[in-house]
């Protein structure tokens, strides 16, 4: 499949590509995948060469203006060729037929073909979900059978993976869904690792919900509901149950609470609520839990220094400035909510202030950034204290910094105005020194100056990746902080995905809304978590010919009519326990284990103190049900001690409010 060649494309000679990129020389299926990108970016190149925008809001130095024009043309050319190469290499890393994924199961994303120094011959739930989030988005923009097959293979692999018992747990309690990585044949990885990592389930749900929404919009509601939803449902149940428990961050180093994980959890719960309603089913606890998650996400904001502290409840040796927060912003981008700050939209004042603070934290620590002043793009790493491989810039982090700015430009153009306030002013003044606070309409010279300056700034990050890429366009994990040479894991799948989403935003392609407008209000600030029920998906094959159906209409999300069929009930039990003991809830309803302690609901001791020995859980029960229940103490050796008679009894009221049952151990 790969060979060295020189090609001429739109008048530009490109040397050393590893594949012939013209659609005529590709297979029919792959040509269909690349062709939209070919024509879109050929148009960009022609615009860059023949019709360069030279309108700036105020008279500026001619040299600087020409520099911006040259940069734009260079980035246009880079994107045109790199897009095709990145798709090629990304698909190579997906089993079983990928050219670099021999031995991987069908639908499995291999993090990198590297099997030593470093060994990335594994599949990570988070990385895979982010890669397929991008694939699904590309598929929804342009139907392609190659991508659809990959999406369906990915779904089948993840359905199987959910049922693989592992060191984090199993599917019965949901805990096993938090296992971060597996062997590429879908078997468990049993070595030491930072586990659990709680971003995998919500991100996988987000990726699969993207495909489910496409199925809905094309008239395949039954497939979305009967095939795809059961896998999504498991991941959403995990998110609603475990969101407020600590785990390891996306860099797999800090145990605590991660901004990226929390914002991903919020999005998944909001999006899951909307999708469930369209499918005529329910997302248990999602709507009730989501506002609590959003409230917690906003606690990561450092109002004294105006940036996100990306890890709290752990990682105190870091200053908190971390590409984690920029990734959170771009992966929760919803163009329908403008510059909303609560959901940390890319053009919000908080996200822009954080972008400046995070980018500036890398300006002076890398030799490759020498000479780059405020307002100029720099190479971005994970966080400034990083020591992994000596702590270098990462391609995906540098691309994320560009993508956030492209996202912002999309929304500013969409709404026809830009608002500068005291929080975002330092960001804007780095780029347009004369700007002051206020709202600038699209007819103003200041608006034009800002758009042009931010575009140039974003293109600067893309240009850095262009200058530091490997032979032919290879994107490994990192590039050396001193020499700029590509290093670490070669052909990192996430790096290629990060390039493709940044390029799509630059071209003005937006992701579908995830219903952020229904979940961007902080209405609850508690720790509500809902115990989930988990079931192995039994349907993993899709009907043939799931092709676009332009005449289909997507069912709107129903408006609540009052009353709830399932009621959230919080059970609080005060009982003094010893180390190694746990408390479970059992009762006469199937959701309570039908009096079988093995199937009972495990209570949380997160609020337990010696003066207030509280164990608690929240579950969904049907309105009107007559419930009998007891608590049991599970000893360290697995034996069970029941509390004394009588049974606790109550009838579940028909309410949408959380019902609280407060009990004391009956001894």
Domain-embedded: residue 242: yes
Residues 445 and 508 in one domain: yes
CA dist 248 and 124 (Å) reads 13
Residues 167 and 288 in one domain: yes
* Residue in 663, 549, 572 with CA at minimum distance from that of residue 619: 572
pLDDT in tens, 555-578: 676 665 556 778 999 999 999 999
- The CATH number linked to 614 is 2.60.40.10
Domain-embedded: residue 415: yes
Per-residue confidence (pLDDT) for residue 62, from 0 to 100? 56
Per-residue confidence (pLDDT) for residue 46, from 0 to 100? 32
Residues 257 and 320 in one domain: no
Per-residue confidence (pLDDT) for residue 317, from 0 to 100? 83
Active site residue 249: yes
CA dist 530 and 359 (Å) reads 38
- The CATH number linked to 360 is 1.50.10.10
Residues 286 and 353 in one domain: no
Domain-embedded: residue 483: yes
Of 502, 519, 536, the position where a domain reaches its end is 519
Sign of CA pseudo-dihedral 367, 369, 372, 374: negative
Domain-embedded: residue 19: no
Of 301, 330, 348, the position where a domain reaches its end is 301
Domain-embedded: residue 252: yes
Of 241, 275, 301, the position where a domain reaches its end is 301
CA dist 454 and 418 (Å) reads 12
Residues 167 and 220 in one domain: yes
Query: Which residues in the chain come in under a pLDDT of 50?
Result: 1-32, 35-58
Residues 385 and 436 in one domain: yes
Spatial contact of 359 and 380, defined as CB atoms under 8 Å apart: yes
CA dist 381 and 472 (Å) reads 23
Residues 185 and 132 in one domain: yes
Which residues, including other chains, have CB under 8 Å from residue 442's CB and lie 6 or more apart? 413, 416, 417
Per-residue confidence (pLDDT) for residue 10, from 0 to 100? 33
Which residues, including other chains, have CB under 8 Å from residue 395's CB and lie 6 or more apart? 465, 468, 469, 475, 476, 477, 478, 479, 492, 495, 498, 499
Domain-embedded: residue 15: no
Mark the binding-site residues for substrate, compressed into ranges. 193
In sequence order, which ranges of 433-546 are alpha helices (DSSP H)? 445-468, 493-506
Spatial contact of 97 and 150, defined as CB atoms under 8 Å apart: no
Angle between helices 323-330 and 395-415 (to 10 degrees): 40
Residues 295 and 321 in one domain: no
The residue from 249, 349, 386, 573 that is catalytic is 249
Domain-embedded: residue 90: no
Residues 312 and 286 in one domain: no
The residue from 18, 252, 466, 663 that is catalytic is 252
The count of structural domains within the chain is 3
Residues 275 and 180 in one domain: yes
Domain-embedded: residue 532: no
Q: Name the token pair of 246.
A: 């600590």
pLDDT in tens, 384-415: 999 999 999 999 999 999 999 999 999 999 99
Residues 223 and 139 in one domain: yes
Per-residue confidence (pLDDT) for residue 657, from 0 to 100? 86
Residues 311 and 276 in one domain: no
Strands 582-587 and 601-602: antiparallel
Per-residue confidence (pLDDT) for residue 20, from 0 to 100? 35
Mark the binding-site residues, compressed into ranges. 193
Range of the domain at 260: 123-301
């Amino acid at each position: 499949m790969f060979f060295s060649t020189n090609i001429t494309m739109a008048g530009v000679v490109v040397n050393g590509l590893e594949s012939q990129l013209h659609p005529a020389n590709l297979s029919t299926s792959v040509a269909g995948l690349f062709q939209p990108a070919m024509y879109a970016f050929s148009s960009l190149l022609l615009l860059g060469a023949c019709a360069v925008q030279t309108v700036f809001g105020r008279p500026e130095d001619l040299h600087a203006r020409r520099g911006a024009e040259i940069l734009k043309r260079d980035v246009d050319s880079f994107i045109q060729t790199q897009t095709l190469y990145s798709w090629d290499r990304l698909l190579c890393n997906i089993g079983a037929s990928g050219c670099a994924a021999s031995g991987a199961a069908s639908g499995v994303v291999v993090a990198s073909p590297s099997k030593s120094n470093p060994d990335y011959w594994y599949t990570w739930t988070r990385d895979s979900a982010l890669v397929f989030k991008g694939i699904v988005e590309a598929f929804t923009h342009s139907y392609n059978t190659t991508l659809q097959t990959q999406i369906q293979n990915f779904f089948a692999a993840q359905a199987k993976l959910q049922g693989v018992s592992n060191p984090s747990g199993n599917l019965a309690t949901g805990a096993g869904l938090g296992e971060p990585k597996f062997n590429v044949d879908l078997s468990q990885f049993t070595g030491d690792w930072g586990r659990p990592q709680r971003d995998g389930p919500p991100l996988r749900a987000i990726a699969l919900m993207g495909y489910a929404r496409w199925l809905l919009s094309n008239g395949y509601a039954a497939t979305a509901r009967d095939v795809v939803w059961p896998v999504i449902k498991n991941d959403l149940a995990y998110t609603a149950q475990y969101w407020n428990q600590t785990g390891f961050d996306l860099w797999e180093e800090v145990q605590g609470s991660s901004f990226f994980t929390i914002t991903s959890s919020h999005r998944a719960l909001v999006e899951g609520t909307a999708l469930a309603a369209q499918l005529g089913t329910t997302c248990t606890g999602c709507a009730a839990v989501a506002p609590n998650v959003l409230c917690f996400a906003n606690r990561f904001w450092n109002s004294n220094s105006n940036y996100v502290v990306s890890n709290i409840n752990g990682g105190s040796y870091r200053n908190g400035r971390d590409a984690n927060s920029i990734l959170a912003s771009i992966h929760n981008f919803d163009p329908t909510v403008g510059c909303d700050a609560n959901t940390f939209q890319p053009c919000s004042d908080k996200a822009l202030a954080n972008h400046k603070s995070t980018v500036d934290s890398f300006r002076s620590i890398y030799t490759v950034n020498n000479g780059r002043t405020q307002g100029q793009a720099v190479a971005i790493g994970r966080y400034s204290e990083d020591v992994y491989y000596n702590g270098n810039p990462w391609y995906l982090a540098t691309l994320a910094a560009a993508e956030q700015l492209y996202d912002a430009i999309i929304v500013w153009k969409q709404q026809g105005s830009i608002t500068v306030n005291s929080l975002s002013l330092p960001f804007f003044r780095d780029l347009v020194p004369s700007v002051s606070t206020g709202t600038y309409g699209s007819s103003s010279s200041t608006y034009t100056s800002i758009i042009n300056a931010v575009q140039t700034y974003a293109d600067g990050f893309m240009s850095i990746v262009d200058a530091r890429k490997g032979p032919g366009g290879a994107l490994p994990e990192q590039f050396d902080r001193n020499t700029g040479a590509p290093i670490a894991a070669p052909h990192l799948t996430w790096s290629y995905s990060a390039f493709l989403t940044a390029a799509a935003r630059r071209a003005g392609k937006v992701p579908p809304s995830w219903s952020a407008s229904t979940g961007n209000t902080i209405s609850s600030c508690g720790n509500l978590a809902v115990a989930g029920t988990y079931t192995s998906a039994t349907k993993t094959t899709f009907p043939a010919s799931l092709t676009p159906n332009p005449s289909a209409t997507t069912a709107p999300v129903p408006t609540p009519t009052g009353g709830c069929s399932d009621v959230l009930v919080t059970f609080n039990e005060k009982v003094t326990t010893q180390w190694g003991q746990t408390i479970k809830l059992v009762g006469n309803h199937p959701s309570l284990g039908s009096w079988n302690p093995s199937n009972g609901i495990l209570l949380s001791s997160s609020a337990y103190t010696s003066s207030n020995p509280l164990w608690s859980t929240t579950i969904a029960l049907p309105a009107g049900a007559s419930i009998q229940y007891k608590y049991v103490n599970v000893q360290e050796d697995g034996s069970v001690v029941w509390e004394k008679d009588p049974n606790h009894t109550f009838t579940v009221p028909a309410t949408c409010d959380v019902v609280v049952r407060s009990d004391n151990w009956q001894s």
